[in-house]
Amino acid sequence: MPVIVSDKLCALNVKDVKMHGIFDEKLRLVCEQTLKRIDMHALADYFRYRTDAFATGEFWGKLMRAACMTYAYTHDEELACIIKTAVDDLLSLQDADGDLSTTKKATQPKGACGSDLWERKYALMGLLEYYRVFGDERALDACRRVVRYTNDQVGAAPKTPITETGWAFYGIESSSILDPLMQLYAICGEASALELAKHIVDVGCCKREHLFDAIRAGKDPWEIGNNGVPKESIAKAYEMMSCFEGLLGYYANTGDAQALDTTLLFWNKVYDQEITLLGSGGADAPRNLGPGTGEQWNLTRSNQTNPDIDLMMETCVTVYWMRLCYRLLALTGEVKYADALEVSLYNAIVGALRPDGQFFEYFPKFNGQRNPRVNFSFNIEGFDLSCCTANGPTALAMAPYLYAMKTERGGVLNLYENGCFDLDGVRFEVSSRYPLLGSAVLTVTDASTDAPMTLGLRVPAFAKDFYAISEGKLLPGQPGTYLEIERVWHAGDTVTVAFDIPLVCHPAPKGDNRAGDNFCAFTYGAILLSRDNRYDADPLAPIGSTTVTDYRVMPSDCGGYLKAEVQTERELLTLIDYASAGNEWKEDALFASWIPTVK
């Protein structure tokens, strides 16, 4: 294996992971209503007939990736049949020279719409995930040939530089192929993958401005590529994050420490400046107004309540924020990345999924109604498909990979959902009332080893008074770390976990428009809370006080995680989790997460 830097946390074999909560429920819903229903043959037609239409080739790869990840967890044989048939079909379309594209050779490596390399990226990602799950060498060979073919076309002159491709972002979109290049290199050491990756890293992914040098020089993500004309800005959020995810792969495969340091700088800036209480980012205002409306960095964290914003927090942005967080969690073992993933999963991802499981909201809102509006969609044999509906299932499928992970000395538990997992012959069952309450009991149901093993329990940054009881000992946990318990585990052993979950009132951030100042939002641990007109006739009516004097939480009675009654100095508020707010998806189903306050 060419990998030089090993992960500190690794995914378990997810067939040995079982979740019994909301993520399992939604993952299986999407499996039935999207992954099993979409016509993969029709999606392959874009490759079959070389339609050369904008970004159409991305759908096959996005959905294949999600389907394979989902199958690895569920082992649904009907889904496996769909996957294998789809892969057989796509592989039959690859030319002998390795060409697998939706564009004709004469217009490569850009295509009439500029999306040729972007689409190849997703074909690679789908096939690589298929290879990881099913071990089919044909898929790996196809990826090698795609990359060799691409490397013959793209690179330093006389080849076409990567920054001369793409459609609107000066090569950022095309350069995000760096991620699957590094995946392929890690699997088999394909030399052409590393050669092309070095070209992308050297030129910095963007003709207008070197992405990585800009971050190292102290620039903020929203400023990258800024030419002073807001309508020509190119700080496209999820493509840019995908480039940095690829840079992490470059670090792991080459040991280039600067690549890791640069990505850490980028992550910290994105988290501090762009990620909202929902666990997503990007918007259509106020700084960047360029192509990809609603999908560019815009100092979104401080502008969450800015009334100038119409569209924000694209679901694709959430997915790639989660992927970047997961990669950093694996490489560093730092809890803050798991904390960020949890916020995105419980709020932005579950909240974006329509109850029928066939649609992910393109731009989730904080206030108003659930919004089926999209700006890029196709009808595939009767199924309405957008980039977010194709990407969203990957985020749900990440949950079992995050739930528990393996370390050199044992493993860690990241999510306190009900479920079970295996660590080196020790099977743990988790019984929990989280996220309603900060309590869980882990029981060893089987143990086939006498070797000592360490179990790490995630202590969320928000947790107050975190304790675990093991072998009669009370063990305190420090927020933002893993509480490690090392022992020889036997069937019947238990670990009891308890911590307080705070309810916090957040004042509106001070963004670019003072009209957004008079709002507040409430969170309960990782969960964003909302008013809903099932409990409050006018969720958008201003409240008179933001000072919480008392609160209590209880099980939800509208299909969500929880309901909270919050007493302020002036009124009693009934709040529910964001994911279930407005979840009837009707025009008259109103909710408010940023609640107006009396001036």
Which tokens go with 394? 């990957």
Going residue by residue through the chain, which has 599 residues, state the pLDDT in tens, using 9 for 90 and above. 567 899 999 999 999 999 999 999 999 999 999 999 999 999 999 999 999 999 999 999 999 999 999 999 999 999 999 999 999 999 999 999 999 999 999 999 999 999 999 999 999 999 999 999 999 999 999 999 999 999 999 999 999 999 999 999 999 999 999 999 999 999 999 999 999 999 999 999 999 999 999 999 999 999 999 999 999 999 999 999 999 999 999 999 999 999 999 999 999 999 999 999 999 999 999 999 999 989 999 999 999 999 999 999 999 999 999 999 999 999 999 999 999 999 999 999 999 999 999 999 999 999 999 987 677 788 999 999 999 999 999 999 999 999 999 999 999 999 999 999 999 999 999 999 999 999 999 999 999 999 999 999 999 999 999 999 999 999 999 999 999 999 999 999 999 999 999 999 999 999 999 999 999 999 999 999 999 999 999 999 999 999 999 999 999 999 999 999 999 999 999 999 999 999 999 989 999 999 999 98
Residues 495 and 509 in one domain: no
Residue with tokens 């947790």: 463
- DSSP letter string, 185-230: HHHH--HHHHHHHHHHHHHTT-SSS-HHHHHHTT--GGGTT--S-G
CATH of the domain at 492: 2.60.40
Asked if residue 555 belongs to a domain, the reply is yes
Asked if residue 4 belongs to a domain, the reply is no
Residue with tokens 């295509």: 111
How much is the pLDDT for 135? 98
Last residue in a domain, options 170, 190, 207 = 207
State the total domains in the chain. Answer: 4
Which tokens go with 449? 């080893």
Asked if residue 20 belongs to a domain, the reply is no
Residues 367 and 231 in one domain: yes
Residues near 443 by Cβ (< 8 Å), separated by ≥ 6?
A: 428, 429, 431, 492, 493, 494
Secondary structure (3-state) at 357: coil
User: Within 13 Å of residue 376, how many CA atoms lie on the same side as its CB?
Assistant: 22
Q: What distance in Å separates the CA atoms of residue 18 and residue 429, rounded to the nearest whole number?
A: 9
Asked if residue 26 belongs to a domain, the reply is no
How much is the pLDDT for 79? 98
Residues 133 and 237 in one domain: no
How much is the pLDDT for 24? 98
How much is the pLDDT for 377? 83
Residues near 319 by Cβ (< 8 Å), separated by ≥ 6?
A: 238, 349, 391, 392, 394, 395
Last residue in a domain, options 337, 372, 397 = 397
- For strand 464-470 and strand 473-476, is the pairing parallel, antiparallel, or unpaired? antiparallel
Asked if residue 309 belongs to a domain, the reply is yes
Last residue in a domain, options 175, 207, 239 = 207
Which tokens go with 63? 């959905």
Residues 224 and 156 in one domain: no
Q: What distance in Å separates the CA atoms of residue 123 and residue 142, rounded to the nearest whole number?
A: 10
Instruction: Identify the bridge partners of residue 531 per DSSP, sorted by sequence position.
Output: 592
Residue 265 DSSP class: H
Residues 234 and 357 in one domain: yes
How much is the pLDDT for 376? 73
CA angle, 227 as apex, 225 and 230 as ends, to 5°?
95
Q: Give the other-Cβ count within 10 Å of 228's Cβ.
A: 6
Yes or no: say if 483 and 498 are a contact pair by the CB < 8 Å rule: no
Residues 352 and 487 in one domain: no
Asked if residue 24 belongs to a domain, the reply is no
Domain span at residue 579 reads: 503-596
Rg over CA atoms, the chain: 24
Residues near 247 by Cβ (< 8 Å), separated by ≥ 6?
A: 178, 201, 212, 259, 262, 263
Residues 339 and 363 in one domain: yes
Residues 138 and 285 in one domain: no
Residues 110 and 173 in one domain: yes
Q: What distance in Å separates the CA atoms of residue 520 and residue 457, rounded to the nearest whole number?
A: 32
Does a cis peptide bond (omega within 30 degrees of 0) precede residue 109?
yes
Q: What ranges make up the beta strands (E) of 517-561?
A: 519-524, 527-532, 548-554
Yes or no: say if 329 and 337 are a contact pair by the CB < 8 Å rule: yes
Q: Give the other-Cβ count within 10 Å of 72's Cβ.
A: 20
- DSSP letter string, 487-508: E---TT-EEEEEEE--EEEEEP
Secondary structure (3-state) at 137: helix
Residues 199 and 57 in one domain: yes
CATH of the domain at 127: 1.50.10.20
User: Within 13 Å of residue 7, how many CA atoms lie on the same side as its CB?
Assistant: 16
Residues 339 and 383 in one domain: yes
Q: What distance in Å separates the CA atoms of residue 87 and residue 61, rounded to the nearest whole number?
A: 10
Asked if residue 15 belongs to a domain, the reply is no
Secondary structure, 3-state, 21-51: CHHHHHHHHHHHHHHCCCCHHHHHHHHHCCC
How much is the pLDDT for 371? 82
How much is the pLDDT for 332? 98
Asked if residue 326 belongs to a domain, the reply is yes
Residues 184 and 67 in one domain: yes
Residues near 431 by Cβ (< 8 Å), separated by ≥ 6?
A: 418, 440, 441, 442, 443
Yes or no: say if 365 and 540 are a contact pair by the CB < 8 Å rule: no
